[in-house]
Amino acid sequence: MKIILAEHSGTCFGVKKALEVAERFADSNLNVYTLGPLIHNKQVVERLDKKGIRVIDTLDSIEGGTVIIRSHGVPPEIHGQAAGKVVELVDATCPFVRKIQEKVKEYYGKGYQIIIIGDAGHPEVKGVNGWCNYSAIILDKPEDAEKIGYFEKLCVVAQTTITSGLWEEMKSVLEKKGDEIKFFNTICSATSMRQQAAVELAGKVDVMLVIGGLHSSNTQKLYKLCKENCKNTYHIETADDLPLENIKGAESVGITAGASTPDWIIKEVIDKMTEMDKMKQQETNEQTSEEQMLEQAQGVEETTGSLEGNGPEEATAEGVAAEDAAVEEASAEEKPSEEETPEKDTTMKEIENTLVTVRVGKVVKGQVIQVGENDVIVNIGYKADGIIPRDELNNDPTLKPSDLVKEGEEIEVFVKKIDEKEGSVLLSKKKVDIEKAWKVLKEKHQTGEPLNVKVLEEVKGGLIAIAEGIRGFIPASHIDIGYVEVLQDFVGQELPMKVIEFNRSKGKVIFSRKALLEEQKEKKKKEILENLKAGDRIEGEVKRITDFGAFVDVGGIDGLVHISEMSWSRIDHPSEVLETGQRVEVEVLGVEPENERISLSLKKTKPHPWDNIQERYKAGDIVTGKVVRLVDFGAFVELEPGVEGLVHVSQIAYTHVEKPQDVLEEGQMVEVKVLDVKPDERRISLSIKETTEKPRREFSKEKPQAQQVHSEDHPPITIGELVGDIFKEEE
Ligand code: SF4
């Protein structure tokens, strides 16, 4: 007979923990109680009772002592009741159940109607209901779910031991029962894994045994699921209940056990079956031997009868020899060696195979089954689940466990400690990640590739930062290209940086953002110098102004706008046109990659002032301009930026002007008459004197005292003022 134990059979993490807590108080001669049966297993409860741990139903039934809260958990008021008595509560609530209680409390507080999918009579469900002031709707059938009303906000949780099938069915009904629904699938993974493994095994064996308390809800569900897949399924509490007659003929027997079935009960069942099988085997062998002996004897008789001349002695001798051989064979079967009992050997191996062996210092794979505020529980396939405390998850204190792992995720963990007595396994994710991270950092240091670095805090001389879970230092001078006055501004930021120093043995890592920025700047500069060409128009920022021009950053490299390229009109200083920080469009005049020089023009981005000049100035027009230059042969008058005309010395006044400086000065505003416009030659001839009427006769040989000129200091001169003397003389 082949006996196969299903994976994930027997006590789960929560039950094991509760049993261990109880064991600590066994035979202690203290008044120790459990609030309700510790687990739904009569044999275990009786055993504990013998060790002085008794079951109570309420705290009112005792005056004082130590009370163990079982893995199902309790409503919150129990803690209050205990405080009013001389009672010490030892809380062995399973962390999975506690998580449901916390969720229910949180969402009840937020105004959600709580729905618990499960058995209203089960202590876990009763306890959870207490965390929402007993306001939960408890459902275990889709038909009942159909009947509930419609709610604005619903929060749905599951009893840890319900089946995934029921959860899905209920979910599909409840999805239509509210505006905003939060579903929390709180089925314990230990339960679902146990159920799945049992169902798979039940489909392959002749007989399936489900071991567990007759009142244990999870065992009942397990039995139901197995029965659906194997009609010869039996629910037994102990080895005494084994349906031996029904098993006898089976070639394969599968075994699973509920969450509250301790290992020793499973072992008893297996031992009894192995014993039974051994006896059956022995019976078979004996029967075979008898038959063989009989056959041998018959053979002798037949031989005796056929061989004439052979005496009965000979025949008897052969018969004895055959008998001896048969007896020897039978004796060998009666004293089987371990190597000769393959069924038993296979069974034990299969049992062992269901448990993963872990040892301290080993890296194992596991599945995250619960993410709490301060720790993470991981199923590593060992008899107990492992716990990763917060500080063993990651070095970044700003991250919560939920930022780092998700339920259901497969992760690698390092086994730090195994406490067989406590049944706990201390794991570290940080250690595995850190080993990987050191490799990554080493590679980044060697290749020069950047990586994301999170700045954690400011310290003397720089900043502490973290990358890939490894803490390092950023010297103050390496956080940026220029000087940074307030380092604190970088705290909390995640920025790409380079690893500029790496020493694994000293645990030293130095990050530099400056190195990366400089590298990027150089790269960009090279790109610009390679791609930019004369005539390109680009935007830039004025970085520096000098007497001879302005330097404009055109994307990582500064180009020069010479003063002569700033405006179409004459300027004395670049600051008349530009200021530092201003964004401007410039045109590229030339690029010298070898010298890293770019010459730029600002004025070329503006229309040329002589374009369409004839549309703005025509012969005969009288306009105002500014005297910008005085030369011997006349005065240059600016009509608009970049457009200057010449007033020939002969056109300054009707009287003789020796030198233009005698009657005009630079900066003076004058009215001029346009005499001629020659766009091709960029020449405009102007006249000051023709803005006034020509005097009818000569009145004085003296040079005029003033012309028809004006400036801010010299208001415009009227014709009367200019020729007033004439009229005075005539009068
Ligand atoms: S079945 Fe799951 S939830 Fe229940 S006690 Fe065991 S581990 Fe905890």
Look at residue 709 and tell me whether its pLDDT is greater than 70: no
Instruction: Name 107's Cβ contacts closer than 8 Å, sequence gap at least 6.
Output: 114, 132, 155, 182
Specify the higher pLDDT residue, 670 or 271: 670
State which ligand 1 atom lies nearest to the alpha carbon of 11.
6
CA of 94 to the centre of ligand 1 (A): 6
pLDDT of amino acid 542:
96
Specify the higher pLDDT residue, 170 or 271: 170
pLDDT digits (tens, 9 = 90+) for 199-215: 999 999 999 999 998 88
Backbone Cα Rg of the chain: 51
Structure token digits, residue 507: 């645990």
CA of 190 to the centre of ligand 1 (A): 7
How far is the CA of 7 from the CAs of 195, 213, 440, in angstroms?
Answer: 9, 19, 38
Place of tokens 């240059």: 636
Look at residue 476 and tell me whether its pLDDT is greater than 70: yes
Place of tokens 């991981």: 378
Place of tokens 């994710």: 429
**Full-model pTM:** 0.42
pLDDT digits (tens, 9 = 90+) for 588-606: 999 998 888 999 999 999 8
State which ligand 1 atom lies nearest to the alpha carbon of 160.
3
Contact 364, 415 (CB under 8 A): yes
Please write down the HEC assignment for all residues of 479-502. Answer: CCCCCCCCHHHHCCCEEEEEEEEE
CA of 513 to the centre of ligand 1 (A): 49
Q: Which of 98, 119, 186, 188 to mutate to test the pocket of ligand 1 (most atoms within 8 A of CB)?
A: 188
Contact 28, 53 (CB under 8 A): no
Q: Distance (Å, rounded) from C-alpha 632 to C-alpha 630?
A: 7
Average pLDDT, the chain: 83
Place of tokens 């004459």: 570
Specify the higher pLDDT residue, 45 or 24: 45
Q: Which of 8, 12, 128 to mutate to test the pocket of ligand 1 (most atoms within 8 A of CB)?
A: 12
Contact 365, 24 (CB under 8 A): no
CA of 40 to the centre of ligand 1 (A): 12
Q: Distance (Å, rounded) from C-alpha 384 to C-alpha 369?
A: 12
**Torsion, CA 277, CA 282, CA 287, CA 292, rounded to 10:** 130
Contact 435, 412 (CB under 8 A): no
CA-based torsion, 475, 477, 481, 487: positive or negative: positive
Q: Which of 157, 191, 217, 387 to mutate to test the pocket of ligand 1 (most atoms within 8 A of CB)?
A: 191
pLDDT band of 142, cuts 50, 70, 90: very high
State which ligand 1 atom lies nearest to the alpha carbon of 190.
2
Task: Supply the residue whose CA is at minimum distance from atom 2 of ligand 1.
Answer: 188
Q: Which of these, 60, 40, 440, lies nearest to 214 by C-alpha position? A: 40
In this structure, the residues whose C-beta lies within 6 A of any atom of ligand 1 are 12-15, 71, 94, 96-97, 160-161, 188, 190-191, 259
**DSSP three-state, residue 720:** helix
Backbone φ and ψ for 501, nearest 5 degrees, come out as -145, 135
Task: Supply the residue whose CA is at minimum distance from atom 8 of ligand 1.
Answer: 14
Specify the higher pLDDT residue, 37 or 723: 37
Look at residue 707 and tell me whether its pLDDT is greater than 50: no
CA of 214 to the centre of ligand 1 (A): 18
What is the DSSP annotation of 186-209? Answer: ---HHHHHHHHHHHHHHTT-SEEE
Specify the higher pLDDT residue, 375 or 316: 375
Q: Which of these, 199, 164, 195, 161, lies nearest to 39 by C-alpha position? A: 161
How far is the CA of 501 from the CAs of 470, 481, 508, 511, 549, in angstroms?
Answer: 13, 18, 7, 7, 42
Q: Which of 17, 68, 94 to mutate to test the pocket of ligand 1 (most atoms within 8 A of CB)?
A: 94
State which ligand 1 atom lies nearest to the alpha carbon of 12.
6
HSE, CB side, 13 Å, CA atoms: give it for residue 419.
Answer: 10
Specify the higher pLDDT residue, 76 or 287: 76
Backbone φ and ψ for 189, nearest 5 degrees, come out as -65, -30
How far is the CA of 522 from the CAs of 181, 222, 314, 519, 530, in angstroms?
Answer: 55, 68, 110, 5, 12
Map out the domains of the chain with their CATH numbers: 8-94 (3.40.50.11270), 96-187 (3.40.1010.20), 356-424 (2.40.50.140), 448-518 (2.40.50.140), 532-605 (2.40.50.140), 613-730 (2.40.50.140)
pLDDT band of 168, cuts 50, 70, 90: very high
Q: Which of these, 16, 162, 178, 159, lies nearest to 101 by C-alpha position? A: 159
Inter-axis angle of helices 217-229 and 189-202, to 10 degrees?
30
Q: Distance (Å, rounded) from C-alpha 515 to C-alpha 449?
A: 11
Look at residue 716 and tell me whether its pLDDT is greater than 60: no
Least confident of 26-40, 97-111, 427-441, 613-627: 26-40
Least confident of 263-277, 581-595, 649-663: 263-277
pLDDT of amino acid 104:
95
pLDDT of amino acid 289:
57
pLDDT of amino acid 423:
58
Contact 146, 173 (CB under 8 A): yes
CA of 106 to the centre of ligand 1 (A): 21
CA of 205 to the centre of ligand 1 (A): 27
Plot region of 642 (φ>0 → left; ψ -120 to 50 → alpha; else → beta): left
State which ligand 1 atom lies nearest to the alpha carbon of 71.
5
CA of 101 to the centre of ligand 1 (A): 14
Single-letter code of the amino acid located at 576: E
The catalytic residues are 124
Number of C-beta neighbours around residue 486 at 10 A: 8
Q: Distance (Å, rounded) from C-alpha 23 to C-alpha 135?
A: 36
Q: What percent of the chain has pLDDT over 70?
A: 84
Task: Supply the residue whose CA is at minimum distance from atom 5 of ligand 1.
Answer: 14
Instruction: Name 298's Cβ contacts closer than 8 Å, sequence gap at least 6.
Output: none
Contact 361, 415 (CB under 8 A): yes
Single-letter code of the amino acid located at 22: A
379-401 CB burial, b ≥16 within 10 A, e <16:
bbbbbbbbbbebebbbbeeeeeb
CA of 110 to the centre of ligand 1 (A): 27
State which ligand 1 atom lies nearest to the alpha carbon of 13.
7
